[in-house]
């Protein structure tokens, strides 16, 4: 009797860890390459154990065949990656917005190493992503992801094949929201660039002898930095609002 109870507890914890662990491998901030694998592993185990009392009653009984067990575990891993990927896609809006800002301010060639992506990105994108990740942890919005994982057990019951139509629909909505959010964050730079280029065109027509680009590029960079200083707090607040509501929107489909 005791052996069966221990096996059931280990089985439930294993399934919970499969979903939580796979999600935390790709979540923004926690799943970055700069975070040591051991730290991510220990954190995933700790969160899985903390969530076990709440979600263990929803875990199905241990199957008799090994194949069924493997299929259930794979399904939990897919669901975890799906939920983590949703947050990662939304966070990529910062990189897209940063690249748009860089192109509109003639700073696209000024790249910087982003430790979260382990690659060269625009300076604007790296700064936005770093500040957003700091604010997510400071404001405890990372708890929204954990709450979303717990709520996912009502939407994606363990042992049942995930609804592919539901998952693809959610991915489509999040990708659309990500691009829209990127355009909204970079909107001041798009307007500034349009007005500035129109002004340079008029100046070039009125004073053909003037090297308008030689004079205009430093002013455009200065204007972009001013626009960033004015819109930074509002833009990051807008992103945090979308990030906080991401899992609520997905779970609302249950």
Q: Give the angle subtended at the CA of 71 by the CAs of 67 and 74, to the nearest 5°.
A: 140
pTM for this entry: 0.80
Q: How far is CA 241 from CA 168, 169, 244, in A?
A: 23, 21, 5
Interatomic CA distance for residues 79 and 210, integer angstroms: 60
Q: pLDDT by residue (tens digit) across 93-118?
A: 888 888 888 888 877 776 666 655 55
Task: Answer whether 157's CB lies under 8 Å from 218's CB.
Answer: no
Task: Answer whether 185's CB lies under 8 Å from 97's CB.
Answer: yes
**What pLDDT shows up at residue 2?**
36
Residue 246 has pLDDT above 60, yes or no: yes
Interatomic CA distance for residues 108 and 217, integer angstroms: 13
**Mean pLDDT, to the nearest integer, of 125-141?**
83
Measured in residues, the chain has a length of 254
Token pair listed for 102: 């860089």
**Residue appearing with tokens 């263990």:** 56
Of 180, 12, 152, 173, the residue nearest 81 (C-alpha): 152
Q: What are residue 112's DSSP bridge partners?
A: 121
Domain spans in the chain, listed from the N-terminal domain onward: 2-251
Q: pLDDT by residue (tens digit) across 179-236?
A: 999 998 988 888 888 888 888 878 777 877 777 777 777 888 888 888 888 888 888 8
Task: Answer whether 27's CB lies under 8 Å from 145's CB.
Answer: yes
Backbone angles phi, psi at 111, to 5 degrees: -105, 160
Q: How far is CA 58 from CA 65, 95, 154, 213, in A?
A: 20, 38, 8, 64
Q: Name the 3-class secondary structure at 248.
A: helix
């Amino acid at each position: 009797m005791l052996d069966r109870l221990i096996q059931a507890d280990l089985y439930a914890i294993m399934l919970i860890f499969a979903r939580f662990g796979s999600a935390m491998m790709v979540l923004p901030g926690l799943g970055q390459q700069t975070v040591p694998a051991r730290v991510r592993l220990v954190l995933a185990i700790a969160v899985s154990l903390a969530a076990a009392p709440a979600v263990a009653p929803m875990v199905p009984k241990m199957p008799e065949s090994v194949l069924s067990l493997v299929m259930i575990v794979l399904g939990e891993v897919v669901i975890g990656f799906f939920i983590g990927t949703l947050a990662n896609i939304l966070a990529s809006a910062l990189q897209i917005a940063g690249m748009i800002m860089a192109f509109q301010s003639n700073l696209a060639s000024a790249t910087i190493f982003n430790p979260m992506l382990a690659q060269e990105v625009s300076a604007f994108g790296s700064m936005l992503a770093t500040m957003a990740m700091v604010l997510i942890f400071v404001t405890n919005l990372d708890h929204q992801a954990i709450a979303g994982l717990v709520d996912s057990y009502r939407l994606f019951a363990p042992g049942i094949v995930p609804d592919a139509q539901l998952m693809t629909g959610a991915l489509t909505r999040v990708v659309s929201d990500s691009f829209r959010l990127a355009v909204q964050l970079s909107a001041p730079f798009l307007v500034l660039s349009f007005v500035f280029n129109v002004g340079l065109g008029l100046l070039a027509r009125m004073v053909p002898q003037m090297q308008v680009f030689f004079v205009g590029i430093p002013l455009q960079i200065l204007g972009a930095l001013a626009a960033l200083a004015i819109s930074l707090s509002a833009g990051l607040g807008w992103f945090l609002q979308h990030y906080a509501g991401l899992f609520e929107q997905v779970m609302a489909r249950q």
